[in-house]
Structure 1
Amino acid sequence: MILKTRVITGLLLLALLSACSGVAKNTIVSISYEDRQVAAQLIDKQVIQSENTLGIQLLKELLKSDKTENIIISPYSISSALAMAYNGASSDTAIQMAKALGWSNTTLENLNQANEQQRKLLEHSDEGIELSIANSIWYQEGPKIRPSFLNTGENSYKAEINAEDNLSSSRTMNKINDWVKKKTQNKIDSILSEPLSTDTLSVLINAIYFKGTWKHPFSEDLTEQHPFTLGDGSIQNVQMMQQTHEFPYAESEDWQAIRLPYGDGRMSMLIILPHKQTTIDILTQQLVKDPSPWQKTFDSKNVHINLPRFTAKYENKLKKALQALGMTYAFDPNKADFSQMSTITPLYIDQVLHKTFLEVNEKGTEAAAVTGVLTPTSGAPAPPVDMNVDRPFFFAIEDTQSKAWLFLGTITNHKKSHIIVISGI
């Protein structure tokens, strides 16, 4: 049997939107909101928008087969890992990847620079946010990988380089899974369920871990059971958090949208709730066509919000979805050209693996709770707008300064989510 050499790009991430009992600590010293705003303006906006667009397009493709399932993806993680692979692509493979991923109008040098700037920006979060990003390249030891490819991964993506004497061994599989577990704070145990095949040349991994405390925490005392309409139309009782506060808010005839800030507001959760007469599918089509209504600044409104409290996991292979977007040559052993990564042929991407973890609950640190205290204003506040998130909804975790959507997805099925009971805290 002739074994075909291949490169596997593995993507994994953790989105942990949880409360915690203490202030989240970053391994990198945070910078001021103002200085970070200046740094955010230096990042190529086209690269950020391409990243967001990729996430929305992938969501649309994944919804075709998972209409009633929760979908949670990270456009940032997917884009970062594919950007590392793109540095190894050449000729028509590179041209096609650039077109599918939105990079046709930027140079490879600018793309790498923008990704490096964005990584550094994200790591400089405030004390109410814990956010860490890790990249790694694992490859079969020997003169098969171009040093220039490894140098770009190490310098632009801060990738950990790991040369293995036997990439297909159980020992290497365990080392990769241990790396995953460590970088995701034990929330994702593994990405490989069996040793790599003997024709695997390299594995590229991006991991992102996010843990945010609400700027305005929800009170546990107000959480109570409420019905939630699932994607299939059935109804399930869930633990529903609630609060009334001034939040950035917008609405139309078809949807309501709100931003719930984390920490000092550098990050927020955007929630878009379709009205009862429309659907998540219709909303996603609108997002693909023109996401600008939800990317602009919202006016501040007094809002009473009900939001489900849950934990959810998601796992999928993205090969078919990426092929549907036009990225086909990279997966084809007869057409793929990754000669900037290695002189070995054929060399192609076998699969793109993606894992996510999401937790949403009431908690906030004391500092966040203090920050969230309402400041009295002159005159009586306006009556609150009601936003009852009791049916499938879209969410995005966004960097409010760079406008990047780090995570996005749809929550439609609480039967596949772990509903946390109040007594369990």
Structure 2
Amino acid sequence: MFLIGLLFLQCSENPTTAPTRSLDLTAAEKELVESDNSFGLRLFREINEAQGDSNIFISPLSVAMALGMTYNGADGSTKEAMQQTLELSGLTLEEINESYRNLIELLTQLDSKVQFDIANSIWYKLSIPEPEADFLQRCQQYFDALVTGLDFSAPDAASTINAWVEESTNGKIEEIVDDPIDPLICMFLINAIYFKGSWVYQFDESQTQDTLFYLPDGTTATCKMMSQKAIHGFLFSDDFQAVDLPYGDGAYSMTLFLPWEDGDINALIAQMEPENLNNWLSQFSSDSVNVFIPRFTLEYDRELKADLTALGMGIAFDPDEANFRNMYSSIPQVWIDKVKHKTFVQVNEEGTEAAAVTDVEMGYSSVTNPAFRADRPFVFMIRENESGTIMFIGKIVDPTGG
């Protein structure tokens, strides 16, 4: 079984549900949704390549929004690389920021029967030159970010940030920042998301039974299998079947994709590109469906540096090459040290509760490391250091000349 879409932005209406209010998006907002979804699917496929037989649960929206704040501080080749990886090339910085601001408002107010909260925060180190005021102002204005200067060496520094994380995820994720804080970290840019929705058609707990679940290695595990019969969006294809289970008044839904018994879940994930996904979702039709899904709880975490590097933004993690001059102009070297991602999801007879946190940790060096690159003619000598005797001396004009 495979579920997707819970923490994705979905700009096309599912034909089987009727949102409480219409998402009247501008052209830029639609393009941002498409960019975030495309980036999220690529990230999911990249992680699945590394964790093919493991449970995975990520929030593309959370990762994109945390990196969206960070993008405001990037410049030069670093900004270009992040732009390509996040698929933001068709949008100006102003369009990106304004679209995020409007989407935060729309998504959190879309369905009165669903709780969906988005919170952003920036925590910067007080003992070094302050971040650029314009950068902090943009993150406050467009991402509604809480901006706080903090003594990172204080005993309660990490717990202060983690308390915000716990509160913003309704207690589902208790910490994201390590204690004590690494002295070479100058800033944390954090996004937190919390979702709680009840099924439109709830499962009857008395009908839940112990059932075998077939694992990828051919063995089985016993799970609590919920069941119901109701009108849902449904799709049969050559490779899989899918069902759409709405929450609240129908603005949000969980979409599940199930390969046929002789199918391969990883082969299906490999096909999950925006064009294919949008095509599949457009083919759903309403029908009376017998639905059987397991009750489950999952906590997941992953450090995303390797995945984001593979997707093209490795320069942002390079202490010597990264350019975040729009974040810190008075510190010679600032780079992304880590991107940490944690999620939680619980699916039961009543509905779904989920949370996600993405933490972008910025590293810094107050002194520019000197570089010696001998890529032109040079003189060299071999010396005895105590007496100062020069034993050999030479010149190289062509190191390949023999």
**TM-score > 0.5, shorter chain as reference:** yes
Deviation of 1:162 after TM superposition, in Å, equals: 0.7
CA contact (8 A) 1:134 1:206 kept: yes
AA paired with 2:178?
S
Query: C-alpha offsets along residues 216-256 of structure 1, whole Å, 9 cap, x if unaligned?
Result: 10111111011101232210111000011110111111101
Q: Whose Rg is larger?
A: 2
1:328 is aligned to 2:325? no
More off after superposition, 119-128 vs 302-311: 119-128
- Tell me which of the two structures has the higher relative contact order, counting C-alpha pairs closer than 8 angstroms and 6 or more residues apart: 1
**Partners of 1:137 and 1:91 in 2: CA distance:** 23
Question: Deviation of residue 199 (structure 1)?
Answer: 1.8
* 1:159 maps to 2:145: yes
Residue 121 of structure 1 aligns with an amino acid whose one-letter code is L
Q: How many residues align?
A: 337
Identity %: 37
Cα distance in 2 for partners of 1:331, 1:364 equals: 39
2:93 counterpart residue number: 108
Tell me which residue corresponds to 2:131: 145
1:361-405 deviation line (CA, Å, top 9, x unaligned): 00169xxxxxxxxxxxxxxxxxxxxxxxxxxxxxxx9xxxxxxxx
- Offset of residue 193 of structure 1: 3.1
| Deviations 1:27-54, CA, capped at 9 Å, x for gaps | xxxxx956x3143466621211111111
Q: Does 1:259 pair with 2:218?
A: no
Where does residue 99 of structure 1 map in the other structure? 84
Whole-Å separation in 1 of the counterparts to 2:206 and 2:182: 52
**2:361 aligned residue:** none
Root-mean-square deviation (Å): 2.1
SS state at 2:291 partner:
strand
- Is the aligned partner of 1:221 residue 2:197? no
Partners of 2:351 and 2:187 lie apart in 1 by: 41
SS in 2 for 1:339: coil
Residue 308 (str. 1) matches residue 272 (str. 2) = no
Which AA in structure 2 matches 1:98? Answer: Q
Decide whether the 8 Å contact of 2:119 with 2:191 is kept in 1. yes
Query: Is residue 2:266 matched to residue 1:281?
Result: yes
**Aligned match for 2:103, one of 118, 121, 136:** 118
The one-letter code of the counterpart of 1:207 is: A
Task: Tell me how far 1:258 sits from its aligned partner.
Answer: 1.0
Structure 1 residue 64: Cα displacement: 1.9
Q: CA deviation at 1:291?
A: 2.1
Deviations 1:144-192 (A, max 9, x none): 200000001100000001111x224331101011111111111111112
1:126 deviation in Å?
A: 2.3
Residues 267-291 of structure 1: CA deviation (Å, up to 9, x unaligned) = 0001011112221211111113732
* Aligned counterpart in structure 1 of residue 74 of structure 2, from 89, 94, 118: 89
Distance 2:342 2:216 in 1: 22
Q: Which amino acid aligns with 2:160?
A: K
CA displacement at 1:70 relative to structure 2: 0.7
SS at match of 1:240: strand
| CA distance in structure 2 between the aligned counterparts of 1:146 and 1:70, rounded to whole angstroms | 40
The equivalent of 2:350 in structure 1 is: 363
Letter paired with 1:68: D
Deviates more, 1:189-198 or 1:106-115: 189-198
SS of the aligned residue for 2:254 comes to: strand
Q: Deviations over 1:293-312 (max 9, x none)?
A: 23326210111010000111
Tell me, yes or no, if structure 1 residue 317 matches structure 2 residue 329. no
* 2:333 counterpart of 1:346: yes
Aligned residue type for 2:80: I
For 2:231, the equivalent position in structure 1 comes to: 246
Describe the shift of the 1:364–1:324 C-alpha distance in structure 2 as closer, same or farther (beyond 3 A): closer
In the alignment, is the contact (CA less than 8 A) between 2:123 and 2:148 conserved in 1? Answer: yes
- How far did residue 72 of structure 1 move? 0.4
* Shift in Å, 1:101: 0.8
The residue identity in structure 2 corresponding to 1:175 is T
SS of equivalent residue, structure 2 residue 139: helix
In structure 2, stretches of 5+ residues that fail to align are 1-5, 8-17, 357-402
Among 181, 186, 189, the residue aligned to 2:174: 189
Partner residue of 2:255? 270
Whole-angstrom CA distance in 1 between matches of 2:309 and 2:154: 30
Distance 1:112 1:244 in 2: 43
Q: Distance in 2 between matches of 1:173 and 1:42?
A: 40
Contact 1:69–1:231 under 8 Å retained in 2 = no
CA distance in 1, matches of 2:261, 2:33: 32
Q: Distance in 2 between matches of 1:364 and 1:354?
A: 24
Structure 1, unaligned stretches of length 5 or more?
1-14, 17-31, 366-396, 398-405, 408-425
Matched, 1:134 2:92: no
3-state secondary structure, aligned to 1:194: coil
| Corresponding letter in the other structure for 2:108 | E
**After the TM superposition, which segments of 4 or more aligned residues of structure 1 sit over 6 Å from their partners?**
none
Q: TM-score, normalised by structure 1?
A: 0.76
Paired position in structure 2 for 1:171: 156
Q: Distance in 2 between matches of 1:41 and 1:128?
A: 25
